[in-house]
Chains A and B, each alone.
Chain A
Amino acid sequence: MREAIRRWLATLGGSPALPLTLDRRRIFVLPTGPGLAFGCALLAMLLTAINYTLSLGFALVFMLAGLGQVALLHAFRNLYALKLRETVPEPVFAGQHASFPLWLDNDASRARPALQLAMPGADPVTIDLAPKQSRAVMLRVPATRRGWLSPARVTLDTRYPLGLIRAWSYAKPAQRCLVLPQPESGRPPLPATAAGEAGVRPRGEGSEEFASLRDHRAADSPRHVAWKTSARTPDAPLLTKQFEGSDGGDLWLDLARLPATLSLEQQLSRLTGWVIDADAAGLHYGLALPGTRIAPSGGPAHRARVLRALALHGLPA
């Protein structure tokens, strides 16, 4: 029931999809617990003032009632015209916390103190925005399973300044977080390559054929720098020669070759661990999953592509 009301409220001012600017239709205000206690105390004080005909008692009670009204407006104003946007969350491994970055842009020349952001499952975060300040808030949700983790609806609320009134609004972030399979701990070493050599084989030796040139990276061996090319165009950045093995000496991480006694999740977990190991060792590696083959390569982009394939394997799109 409460959830239904919240869902309905969240859509009242239009879609709560990000990015959005909090306008008056999106901001709700209600008294807090202390606010209700304050109201009851005011009633008791009013009765006392009437009973003892305390004129200044009336003045005090009315002043406090006015303060309540002002608190309402200020709480509303603390959220009003605040801008919310999101950025793409970084992929995380299962078992870690997914961090959904939510940006609060304060265009106003006044501070917005004591803003609280809460997402179901996440620890609420309280921040203070200085005038004209933009800040990102990380809403950290535990990532338990691989695949896409969708953010839940975010509640942004404030009780500032008096704590008597709560003003709140809803936002629905859309950017999902990719949760990668948890790397197996205590996993066996990388499997042998197709050539039968031991798993760790530095690249760039022996009989590969020159394949292409790419931008030089700090980790590249000086022996592979295309010095001749560089000598011809001294202003251009250094290039590195890339070789492609023709002997099938590349590392293939193949799901099918893993022991069938392992469950799919365990297999993916082991492959994920191997991808990390291979990447750390600077190897070229490819991935073979039923229905997906990623040719051997190296580098962060490749690693991300491989891990993504592992994370989403067998899951509906």
Chain B
Amino acid sequence: MRWRRTTIARVAAEPLDQSRIAWLMAVAACALVPHGAHLPGWLIAVAALLFTWRLAQWKLGWPGASGLVKLLVVVACCAGVSLTFGRLFGREPGVALLTLMLVLKLHELRSTRDGHTVVLLGYFMLLTAFLYSQTPAMAAALGVSMTVITAALIALTGPPASPRALMRHAAWLMAQALPFMLVLFVLFPRVPGPLWGLPLDAWSGTSGLSDSMSPGSISQLSLSGAIAFRVRFEGDAPPARDLYWRGPVLSTFDGRTWRQGDSARRIGDRVPHPVPGRALGYEVTLEPHNRNWLFALETVSTLPAGVRVSDDWQLSARDGVRTRRRDRFESVLGARPGIEEWSAHLDAARQLPPDGNPRARQLAQTLRAASPADTVAAGLRLFRREAFVYTLTPPLLGEDGIDAFLFDTRRGFCEHYAGAFVFLMRAAGLPARVVTGYQGGERNEVDDYVVVRQSDAHAWAEVWLEGEGWRRVDPTAAILPSRIERGLADLPAGEPVPFVARVDLGWLRALRHQWEAANNSWNQWVLSYDQQKQRELLSRLGMAQPDWRLMTIWLASLCALFALALTLWAMRRSVSVDALARAWAAVDRALRPAGLGREAWEGPLDYAARIGRLRPDLVPVLAQACRLYADARYGAAPPAAAARELKACARALRRQRTPPHR
């Protein structure tokens, strides 16, 4: 018999044995691997080095890191973190320091308490991995990691067991925790974050339109297949050519770059003018892009709460969009707002730099016609008539870029055309501005969402006409109408087409639709599960007016219910269900339908005697069965063999239980 003697106070300080240390190394590996993609390279190297050293110490008996070495590593790495990120606090430095703590802790595993520290750090590292990726694949991977960490926790407490058994045990515990998780996830009152000011780097790495436009800015974005937002229309989706998703409006020009003007800075909570017409309702789920503007179809007639609009009809949220957000808008397609525009805004929309692009200015004078509308038409005709080429890879333009584009290169992307067109209109004396945003969108047949990607980024022009308001003019449509009809897939041959926009790979596209629809449901129901979705789901489940009080009551009751169910399971008297008992029960089941079941008070031999009197034909088999059971249960016969024979008896009895015909 092996005794393990400890004292209560010493339990926490009990030295760790080799198998437990191995488990803790596995914890560190599981917690660190998901972070490999975004930690700075030098830190990965340091972590790998320390980990390998510990591995060598464990496997090859190398000496461990001394206190001095550890101190030096800490100081050097803190300096490194602060050099790399510019500070020691915040998301990225925090994750880096956690990584460091975890690998260093591996070098001082003295007691169970150190083991618990590693496990808690491991769990925390899993949480921080979600800061970078929350895809279903990541969730699955971290589920496995969590099982490993939980198994390590069991290994720290329990007797030695095989890794397989520990993993199975951990999975079993997690399966039991799952109902609690689901109840809490659905019912835990969601507080809209953030609770405190987030560090600046919290949302780095998001892409989208910017607040300025210079040649090349949109074409670069167009190469990305990333999803900008998803739309669900109430009713049929309008054709793609009508889908102009309005983004930042750019009304000042410095000769090279278009920027937002004063009209973009006058922001109100209501649309500047009522928009008559039949409104189309739809819901936009916007991916985070770290800017505060929102995208809606031209022209928005109804604003949801929390959305503001500028004088040039650019929608924005109060803060940058840092998490996926959902808004319901109503728009009237084809409306022309701004019949009564402020003269200050109109003046601003005629501004040009005092000099530069002389040829374009000259050209604009030739475009001037009797009416402003004719001037616009003349401008569009120019683009259609001359040999302009629509390309994602335009040549670089130097000084007087608009002149160079209009007269020399004649190759450009939508931002070139929109910028040049607005320049011409302004030079011709008409108020005009550049509108950036997205155009089109692809309907996913699987879930009926319209998906708008970064590759749908677009720029067009708006010209103000007396008595009509702001008219949308898309010079790109004049050059390449199919761009507006069918997206980038119809670029002239030889042009690089963004991979996601290709049409020739039909099956691939179908597969992508499936995948994106699954991703979308994941986003809509798991990742964007917020206050609004929570209310929506709960009222669908029949909870009228779900508020936090009701939710708390439900939460507590359901948790209590699960706890009770588990408690009952825990307290269920474990009836002896070994093989012998099961086989004996099978004998009883075989005879019970014939009214020959065993009474609860009957011993096996009494039972055999009684049935023998009732049904002498069963005696040989039944007597053998009862003797087998009695010998194995009360005597010295091996129970496993007896159980097998007993089962055979049960089968025989089942065949014989109907009385033979006399």
Q: Is the CB of A55 within 8 A of B5?
A: no
Q: Is the CB of B184 within 8 A of A66?
A: yes
Q: Is the CB of A55 within 8 A of B527?
A: yes
Whether A51 touches B574, Cβ cut-off 8 Å, given contacts A66-B177, A66-B179, A70-B566, is: no
A62 within 8 A of B: yes
Residues of chain A with a CB closer than 8 A to B636's CB: none
Whether A163 touches B116, Cβ cut-off 8 Å, given contacts A67-B174, A80-B571, is: yes
Chain B interface secondary structure, helix, strand, loop or mixed?
helix
Which one, B124, B176, B202, contacts A52 given CB within 8 A?
B202
Which one, A44, A80, A163, contacts B570 given CB within 8 A?
A80
Q: Is the CB of B157 within 8 A of A62?
A: no
Whole-angstrom distance between the Cβ of B555 and the nearest chain A Cβ? 11
Give the contact stretch, choosing among B146-154, B237-245, B279-287. Answer: B146-154
Q: How far apart sit A58 and B526, CA to CA, in the bound complex (Å)?
A: 10
A238 within 8 A of B: no
Whole-angstrom distance between the Cβ of B436 and the nearest chain A Cβ? 27
Task: List A residues 74-108 near B (Cβ within 8 Å).
Answer: 74, 76-77, 80-81, 107-108
Q: How far apart sit A34 and B123, CA to CA, in the bound complex (Å)?
A: 14
Give the contact stretch, choosing among B102-110, B193-201, B296-304. Answer: B193-201
A38 within 8 A of B: yes
Q: Is the CB of B193 within 8 A of A53?
A: yes
Whole-angstrom distance between the Cβ of B157 and the nearest chain A Cβ? 4
Q: Is the CB of A114 within 8 A of B173?
A: no
Q: How far apart sit A73 and B566, CA to CA, in the bound complex (Å)?
A: 7
Whole-angstrom distance between the Cβ of B178 and the nearest chain A Cβ? 7
A113 within 8 A of B: yes
Residues of chain B with a CB closer than 8 A to A109's CB: 574, 576-578
Q: How far apart sit A70 and B128, CA to CA, in the bound complex (Å)?
A: 24
A141 within 8 A of B: no
Q: Is the CB of A63 within 8 A of B177?
A: yes
Q: How far apart sit A84 and B577, CA to CA, in the bound complex (Å)?
A: 23
Q: Is the CB of B154 within 8 A of A52?
A: no
A19 within 8 A of B: no
Q: Is the CB of A51 within 8 A of B3?
A: no
Q: Is the CB of A110 within 8 A of B574?
A: yes
B130 within 8 A of A: yes
Which one, B126, B139, B570, contacts A76 given CB within 8 A?
B570
Chain B: interface residue count, which band? 35 or more
The interface bits of chain A over 23-45 (1 if a CB of B lies within 8 angstroms of the residue's CB, else 0) are 01000000001100110010011
Q: Is the CB of B156 within 8 A of A163?
A: yes
Whole-angstrom distance between the Cβ of B212 and the nearest chain A Cβ? 29
Which one, B12, B138, B179, B563, contacts A73 given CB within 8 A?
B563
Whole-angstrom distance between the Cβ of B507 and the nearest chain A Cβ? 31
Q: Is the CB of A113 within 8 A of B570?
A: no
Residues of chain A with a CB closer than 8 A to B150's CB: 67, 162
The interface bits of chain B over 74-97 (1 if a CB of A lies within 8 angstroms of the residue's CB, else 0) are 000000000000000001000000
Which one, B6, B158, B527, contacts A124 given CB within 8 A?
B6
Whether A57 touches B116, Cβ cut-off 8 Å, given contacts A65-B184, A70-B176, A162-B157, is: no
Q: Is the CB of A107 within 8 A of B574?
A: yes
Among A52, A113, A126, chain B packs the most CB atoms within 10 A around the CB of: A52
Residues of chain B with a CB closer than 8 A to A54's CB: 127, 130-131, 134
Residues of chain A with a CB closer than 8 A to B6's CB: 116, 123-124, 126
A282 within 8 A of B: no
Residues of chain B with a CB closer than 8 A to A62's CB: 180-181, 184-185, 188
Q: Is the CB of A53 within 8 A of B5?
A: no
Q: How far apart sit A22 and B78, CA to CA, in the bound complex (Å)?
A: 53
Whether A57 touches B127, Cβ cut-off 8 Å, given contacts A50-B191, A118-B8, A124-B6, is: yes
Which one, A37, A61, A66, A71, contacts B120 given CB within 8 A?
A37
Q: Is the CB of A127 within 8 A of B3?
A: yes
Subset of 10 A-B contacts with CB under 8 Å: A34-B12, A51-B196, A51-B198, A56-B130, A116-B8, A118-B7, A126-B5, A159-B11, A161-B154, A163-B157
B residues adjacent to A (C-beta < 8 A): 1, 3-8, 11-12, 91, 112-113, 116, 120, 123-124, 126-128, 130-131, 134, 138-139, 142, 146, 150, 153-154, 156-159, 169, 173-174, 176-181, 184-185, 188, 191-196, 198, 202, 322-323, 526-530, 559, 563, 566-567, 570-571, 573-574, 576-578
